[in-house]
Structure 1
């Protein structure tokens, strides 16, 4: 390792910093020349006894465990090998620390206990990664503080249950990355995971389901295995205490008024309709296991109409009783009540709910939900707690003191900040870590595409906010929903290395971020993950494929990029009618983008000699007259499902994996998709085929109808196809009565509209997902 006596301001990219010191998230400022570490070191401090006991205990344990260094308390202040001091910082009271390594020793100054803990994490990252390396660290001077006060990670323990040891390890991961909030999702339709002594059936009944769907929703059958578990109150106390020692705040989430199936299975009287069996609300295309009578814990994913009854006072008594047991377990000032995805169908037909609306002059069920949340907020406020809810709590009127967690994009967060409410940003794109992180994902996920680059590029403060409004953005978090994570190794795979990118997003100011510099530091971080035996995703090393229009829009090209310039890219192609027998070692060396002008399969991989690096990437192209042509939309797709813009519909790729590759769709919430394709010249065409996704359990419906219009000049269009074609297996062929000559083809795909009663998401706008438009 080289050590240069150079002063480094981290607002500038520095190869010296990236090669010699790999700290994530990046410090605000650093001066850099080796300081030898002894196997036995002393530590002195000026902290109060109780505060210092926590810090010293942690430092002593981790120094021995990670680096084999024993430390003891020093007797004389300022004479130790490592000295801690409480000191004012030039940050207007904002938590901050300095860390200096000089020939005399290691000096840490901080204005609070928490930044002293963060300084310890920085010290650990200065240590050699290789346990066999010489024990020395560089001489440095670091000044550091966080951009946001709220820096979090979420974990869903309802869909799949995680043992106490893993929860502790998860908290360690947060602490190491200087994240300070653990959002603990404890209740949902698929399981109730926290002991409530007054209501023992919540865990005895609500903590267990009789089976789980197999594979991607709606599933390929049901495993028929009883599944569940819960945390005792003593285990919760143990976890909260463990987190406190690592300066991580634990925020529990108790879902209401929706996502309540597990609670209702335990206590059916909490439902608007206690005698209606849960299977009545179960998707018809999913498989049920075991007893189908009465109320049951749900066995599949999604949203269910059976929610807490808002018309009965006993519902609120129950919830208050639950919260009375939950609140003492969690010293956090926050408590999360969910508030998301609450269907209103049962409330519409419930006489008690309708009576409540009349008595309180509520104009609709959205205002009834607002009543529900505001009533619970008053109770929480009376106990000294601040309510957090998902952004649906904005609908019908926001509770006076509530903090909004914006997940459906950034719109809810923007609206709440403009109303001067605290906001925690957690939009699905880019910080849902259950979404795929590779364009060629090799495991089952819910879909989406949030690669590490996308996470790193994100700014949690939307550009739409003024500087003053931006102050209401408290911070952000990544969400880890575990429908498709059955074991702890899969959780690790989904969160790493994206957690490293998130930590820098939340710690560093935008001007202090540098992707190329981060990439260099990430290489060292991978070595740390390996040392921890973390199953991190290798998607970072995969080839990055992109599909682009060919010159003059004559077909498409498949472009490949790599983060490993020293490697070769080998690719093979397979055309219809030719045996597919080539090996990558026999493939062609990639030098320029691969042209696609007919049906073909293309596969590629990075190689060093005969050794493969990363995973192969594949693409199957279906060529037609529209492939690669110019296309425009009258209305853009949702920001949550933007694909590659309008070009997605003519890139030659037909989705074959459903939501597992949702990036291959354009998604429209309640809106029609109207696309105009320019074939470049008049051509004879006879039919159009629209490829779509039909998955009602996810609120995604087939088109209500399709209209095809053609034009020779782009101005005057005439209708040539039926508006209600037969739709089979995600395809809607629209055959003309006779071939026509046209240059422009306008395809109007009608959204299904409002989801009908009795279906998941009833009363909400349906989604329309379109993958490809073929013209022939």
Structure 2
């Protein structure tokens, strides 16, 4: 299923015309913040138009799903609806082929005269006599069935369900409603891919962007070049053999598996757009065929370093023959109109250093390496165009001039998309700050590994793809939007689900619903609890970060220690839900105290808090905050701050390829091995205890490598320095680091501190050599004399 140019703009324009034509009719009841009845519908994304009516229709095991003879599209949608309803509500409905719809049935019908004419649109009507879904396209029928499934699962009950009487007229705002999954960094099984495709279909997303090749792995079988998967699909992790890290990591998809996944997606009206990165991010390919496609004859290993690596494709005829042969097999596997060629983060050092490449540039009359990349991309684009396909790439392909045939996927903010659209190129919006799902959902200590540029649910929901600076003609070039999930720090299917859900709901509503139906954050939140219940029924490991209750102490832990009591505030990221709490550590229920204003507790206390939806459904797992001397004197990795001039930009696991539940994670600054323990109360403190770790320094920093700061050491192995107030302050302690260089090792450090009074920042920094392992802090505890006597530093080998 290919995407047509400017479909999004056409659909939007048609939608506006229909809206105007129907003003005063069904549109007058379109769901928005002021329509409380429509807002109560458990639907995500919100349909374009909803009209409520008195009454209902009850669906029970006796209800039939009816389709017309020869209506294959209706039959497929009907069976998908029946299967999904059986799995989630344990309600079994028969699908029957019938010339005339019986009374009190659910009828699905492909109808060239259906009420909604927009592409992928559908009409859904419910009254006391039954339910009818009609559409002019197969996709429309399918999406109508997905909407009905949501109406049939408003709660976590089983069996029969009442559906309110209503009329829905619905169609998508954008033609490209995408989700990208990177499997080059961490391979995901075909079963995981299919579960993700199921979820995409339920959310009416229709483009699966599959990032298949990169420096760390080549994941697609190319029969003409078997070394790509024999060599390029596997790497040796930096901690191989220790702590559960595999000796050999990787995997790839056979062509048979790919055909199966593409067909599985197509049955759910999802286009699979493959990405093969070029000219950069090519190390796995070069590792397989260095003399054929590399700029030098050097054979590198498949990279274990996340980030930017130096290996590029060559620009000679042999390299292009290789790429074209690979694309021939890719196009045979993927019927999508678009082929994604990456084009991002290609540092040009190898091209600059190569006499052959420089000679090629002179022959072509190209002045610089950015221009050479533009020429490279244009040549690939022309090859794809000759085979009826279109090239799309990341916004770096704008540098050096954008080839006329290229479309742009904008990740470095939105300016690339704006520039490309104004120049007449089709664009897809995927800005890192708003739609990169590898960004963590909160800064809480219980978040897993990922990037620490926090991307909360609310920010995804607030993203507007069409910039106000675009006029109507330019806006037609906005094909849609896409969320990206890069998996450097996500080794398992659990990580993938945690990162995607429920942010996928905000993405889906921004991509599908018209702006006037998707700008009400409170209305969105009111509809989300039903979706979270569906996730629980389906066994989806969604993140509850938006609703997790945070406990905040007025004046911070130091003030609580000084007063032996604390003034406590409770809240959550979404500012939503009825918060109930206890102070004795017991599980909160709807009968527990309701939080209304800050309250005071005497130490010690254990606060447990939970936010409930209006119907009493828990919105998140209960969170616990212990308030005693030990807890208030301890800072986890998440509680520590960056040092001046630094940035704790990543939360990384103990080992990069270790897929194990409960693996410790650490907030790190790749350029400064330095943390601040804020406002430490030092009265009576005699010692400091640090839970530390030795991690792999597996980061390709390219030209930024020179920014890594080395701190002067007093020994060859280095130490952890503790300084008072600032990082130039008095040295309170130097804690020697243990010998060894293998990553994946946890160890304790402990040392005495000279007496001090009052509250002070503590600067903690490692002076170990920066060409060795990366050291990190898991937790820091300040000890009084009695506590210090009970603590003894130990090594925790093998991640234990």
Query: CA separation in 1, counterparts of 2:394 and 2:530?
Result: 36
- Distance, in Å, in 2 between the alignment partners of 1:244 and 1:590 is 49
- Distance across 2 between alignment mates of 1:100 and 1:155: 36
Q: Give the direction of change, closer, same or farther, for the CA distance of 1:729–1:51 in structure 2 (3 Å limit).
A: farther
Shifted more, 41-50 versus 97-106: the winner is 41-50
For residues 363 and 6 of structure 1, the distance between their equivalents in structure 2, rounded to whole angstroms, comes to 57
Going from structure 1 to structure 2, the CA distance change for 1:189 and 1:658 (only over 3 Å counts) comes to closer
Question: Aligned-pair distance for 1:130?
Answer: 2.7
> Counterparts of 1:391-470 in structure 2 under 5 Å?
391-442=395-446, 443-470=448-475
C-alpha distance in 2 between matches for 1:204 and 1:696: 24
Contact 2:670/2:708 (8 A) holds in 1: no
User: Which of 26, 31, 38 matches 1:10?
Assistant: 31
The answer to whether the aligner puts 1:185 opposite 2:207 as a matched pair is no
Question: Which of 129, 137, 148 is equivalent to 1:104?
Answer: 129
Choose 513-522 or 441-450, whichever is displaced more.
441-450
Closer, same or farther in 2 for the Cα pair 1:40/1:565, shift >3 Å?
Answer: closer
Contact between 2:428 and 2:479, CA under 8 Å: does it hold in 1?
Answer: yes
Alpha-carbon separation, structure 1, partners of 2:552 and 2:343: 38
Structure 1: which 5+ residue stretches go unaligned? 215-219, 277-293, 551-556, 572-581, 596-601, 620-647, 669-693, 706-727, 737-757, 759-776
Match in the other structure for 2:677: none
Structure 1 residues 272 and 613: CA distance shift in structure 2, 3 A: closer
Q: 1:618 to 1:508 in 2, by over 3 A?
A: farther
Offset, 1:374: 0.3
Matched, 1:296 2:301: yes
Is 1:26 aligned to residue 46 of structure 2? yes
- Which secondary structure state, in structure 2, belongs to the residue aligned with residue 377 of structure 1? helix
Determine the structure 2 residue equivalent to 1:256. 278
Sort the Cα spacing of 1:352 and 1:412 in 2 relative to 1 into closer, same or farther, 3 A: same
Cα distance in 1 between the residues matched to 2:537 and 2:268 = 21
Using the alignment, how far apart are the partners of 2:82 and 2:582 within structure 1?
50
Change (3 A) 1:512 1:547: farther
> By how many angstroms is 1:91 displaced?
6.4
Q: Distance in 1 between matches of 2:577 and 2:324?
A: 59
Higher mean C-alpha deviation, range 223-232 or range 652-661: 652-661
Secondary structure at 2:433 match in 1: helix
Instruction: Deviation per CA, 1:353-389: give whole Å up to 9, x if none.
Output: 1111101111100011111100000000000001010
Q: Secondary structure at the match of 1:25?
A: coil
1:134 matched to 2:160? The reply is yes
Q: Distance in 1 between matches of 2:384 and 2:553?
A: 52
Q: Secondary structure at the match of 1:429?
A: helix
2:147 maps to what in 1?
122
Q: Deviations over 1:615-654 (max 9, x none)?
A: 45899xxxxxxxxxxxxxxxxxxxxxxxxxxxx999x999
What secondary structure is seen at the aligned counterpart in 2 of 1:302? strand
Name the count of aligned residue pairs.
618
Q: 1:520/1:52 Cα in 2 relative to 1: closer, same or farther (>3 Å)?
A: closer
Mark the CA change 1:530 to 1:584 in structure 2 (over 3 Å): closer, same or farther.
Answer: closer
Give TM-score, length-normalised by structure 2. 0.69
How has the CA–CA distance of structure 1 residues 317 and 734 changed in structure 2, closer, same or farther, with 3 Å as cutoff? same
String of CA shifts for 1:580-604, please: whole Å, max 9, x gaps: xx9899xx99877899xxxxxx997
Q: 1:713 maps to which residue?
A: none
Distance in 1 between residues matched to 2:59 and 2:522, nearest whole Å: 31
The 5 A counterparts of 1:567-582 are 567-568=579-580
Q: C-alpha separation between the residues in 2 aligned to 1:653 and 1:729?
A: 18
Instruction: Determine which of 578, 581, 584 is the counterpart of 1:566.
Output: 578
Cα gap change, 1:25/1:227 in structure 2, threshold over 3 Å: closer, same or farther? Answer: same
TM-score by length of 1: 0.71
Match runs of 1:334-373 below 5 Å: 334-373=338-377
- Counterparts of 1:487-526 in structure 2, within 5 Å, are 487-513=492-518, 514-526=520-532
Distance in 2 (alpha carbons) for counterparts of 1:314 and 1:603:
67
Tell me if the contact between 1:448 and 1:659 (Cα under 8 Å) persists in the aligned partners. no
8 Å contact kept, 2:449–2:651: no
Q: Secondary structure at the match of 2:156?
A: coil
Could you list the per-position Cα deviations for residues 258-294 of structure 1 after superposition, in whole angstroms to 9, with x for gaps in the alignment?
1111111111114545443xxxxxxxxxxxxxxxxx4
Alignment of 1:27-42 (within 5 A): 27-32=47-52, 33-42=55-64
Change (3 A) 1:458 1:273: closer
Cα deviation, residue 479, structure 1: 0.4
Does the CA contact (< 8 Å) of 2:114 and 2:135 recur in 1?
A: yes
SS in 2 for 1:186: strand
Secondary structure at the residue paired with 1:541? coil
Q: Report the counterpart of residue 167 of structure 1 in structure 2.
A: 193
> Taking structure 1 as reference, are residues 92 and 132 closer, same or farther at Cα in structure 2, changes over 3 Å only?
closer
Residues 148, 212 of structure 1: CA spacing in aligned structure 2 closer, same or farther, 3 A cutoff?
A: farther
Distance in 2 (CA, whole Å) between partners of 1:260 and 1:296 is 12
Residue 175 of structure 1: how far off its partner (Å): 0.1
Ranges in structure 2 where 5+ consecutive residues have no aligned partner:
1-25, 557-566, 588-592, 613-617, 628-640, 654-664, 672-696, 710-719, 731-770, 772-800
CA distance change for structure 1 residues 603 and 273 in 2, over 3 Å: closer, same or farther?
farther
| Partner in structure 2 of residue 676 of structure 1 | none
**Which deviates more from structure 2 when the two are superposed, residues 40-49 or residues 524-533?**
40-49
- 1:70 corresponds to which residue? 94
Give, in whole Å, the separation in 2 of the partners of 1:346 and 1:326: 27
Distance 1:358 1:148, change over 3 A: same
CA contact under 8 A between 2:412 and 2:432: conserved in structure 1? Answer: yes
Separation in 1, partners of 2:75, 2:375: 46
Q: Residues 71 and 51 from structure 1, CA distance in 2 versus in 1: closer, same or farther, beyond 3 angstroms? A: closer
Please provide the CA RMSD for this pair: 4.4
Q: What is residue 786 of structure 2 aligned with on the other side?
A: none
